[in-house]
């Protein structure tokens, strides 16, 4: 808790940042083996864009296509299954609002290796920018704290985000970082091939060979 004393920002005071820039900074902090789960929405697309490199894409990333609110539950499963691996869930505000129970489930299980990053643009941007409840005052970090996730904070700016994500990499969690995000379009589009995404992720996590198409 004391580590968060330097991070008193609230949703109103937090700087509005850029999702690709935040995703890029996050991926830049990773050593190698951390798992990152991107939720549906533009968070997914910018994680995909930020994870490209001359050496290929990170095989430890999973991209949720199709269902809202599943980045946190999937990341929780990975964190429980592989407790020595740091796991990040990147999720949009609209998606996490659809699955708020996952926050209290994470708090109850309290995985030390899990960090949730919420990209809050106050909208369901990918489906046309309809406003979410956060645009009307709902505060995801406040909801997380009230759900039992004591180590939850708004990132005041990019430097604060890097510091908070660094804490999540080195100190016991679970953590939740709220980021205010602008409405810029994402830098790329995630390849829509769920079987390939699943197989690559399982290999990236050393979980052996996944089944073929249609076996999921």
Ligand X SMILES: Cc1ncc(C[n+]2csc(CCOP(=O)(O)OP(=O)(O)O)c2C)c(N)n1
**Binding-site ranges for ligand X (CB under 6 A):** 40-43, 66-68, 92-95, 121, 123-127, 132
Q: Answer whether 33's CB lies under 8 Å from 87's CB.
A: no
Nearer CB in complex with ligand X: 43/51 = 43
> Position of tokens 């369901």?
124
Tell me 205's DSSP state.
Answer: T
- Shortest spacing between CB 93 and ligand X, in angstroms: 5
- Shortest spacing between CB 83 and ligand X, in angstroms: 28
Q: Answer whether 39's CB lies under 8 Å from 12's CB.
A: no
Q: Please give the full DSSP string across 22-74, using - where no structure is assigned.
A: HHHHHHHH--S--EEEEPTTHHHHHHHHHT--TT---TTEEE--S-TT-HHHH
Q: Is 17 left (phi over 0), alpha (psi -120 to 50) or beta?
A: beta
Nearer CB in complex with ligand X: 119/167 = 119
Tokens of 55: 């050496």
When CB distances to ligand X are compared, the closest residue is 92
Nearer CB in complex with ligand X: 68/197 = 68
Nearer CB in complex with ligand X: 123/143 = 123
Nearer CB in complex with ligand X: 24/203 = 24
Nearer CB in complex with ligand X: 11/85 = 11
- Shortest spacing between CB 86 and ligand X, in angstroms: 23
Q: How far apart are CA 134 and CA 118, in angstroms?
A: 12
Q: How far apart are CA 25 and CA 84, in angstroms?
A: 23
Cis? peptide before 174, omega within 30° of 0: yes
- CA quadruple 33, 34, 37, 38: dihedral sign: negative
- Shortest spacing between CB 66 and ligand X, in angstroms: 6
- Shortest spacing between CB 124 and ligand X, in angstroms: 4
- Shortest spacing between CB 54 and ligand X, in angstroms: 27
């Amino acid at each position: 808790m004391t580590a968060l004393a330097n991070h008193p920002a609230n949703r109103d005071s937090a700087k509005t940042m850029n999702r690709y820039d935040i995703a890029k900074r996050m991926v830049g902090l990773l050593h190698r083996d951390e798992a990152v789960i991107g939720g549906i929405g533009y968070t997914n697309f910018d994680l995909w864009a930020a994870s490209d490199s001359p050496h290929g894409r990170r095989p430890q990333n999973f991209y949720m296509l199709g269902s809202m609110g599943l980045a946190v539950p999937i990341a929780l499963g990975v964190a429980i299954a592989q407790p020595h691996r740091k796991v990040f869930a990147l999720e949009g505000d609209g998606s996490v609002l659809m699955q708020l129970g996952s926050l209290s489930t994470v708090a109850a299980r309290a995985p030390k290796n899990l960090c949730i990053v919420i990209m809050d643009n106050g909208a369901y941007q990918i489906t046309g920018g309809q406003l979410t409840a956060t645009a009307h005052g709902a505060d995801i970090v406040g909801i997380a704290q009230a759900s039992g996730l004591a180590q939850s904070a708004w990132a005041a700016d990019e430097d604060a985000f890097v510091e908070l994500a660094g804490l999540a990499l080195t100190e016991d969690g679970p953590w939740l970082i709220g980021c205010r995000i602008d409405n810029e379009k994402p830098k790329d589009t995630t390849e829509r091939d769920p079987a390939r995404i699943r197989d690559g992720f399982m290999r990236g996590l050393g979980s052996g060979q996944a089944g073929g198409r249609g076996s999921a």
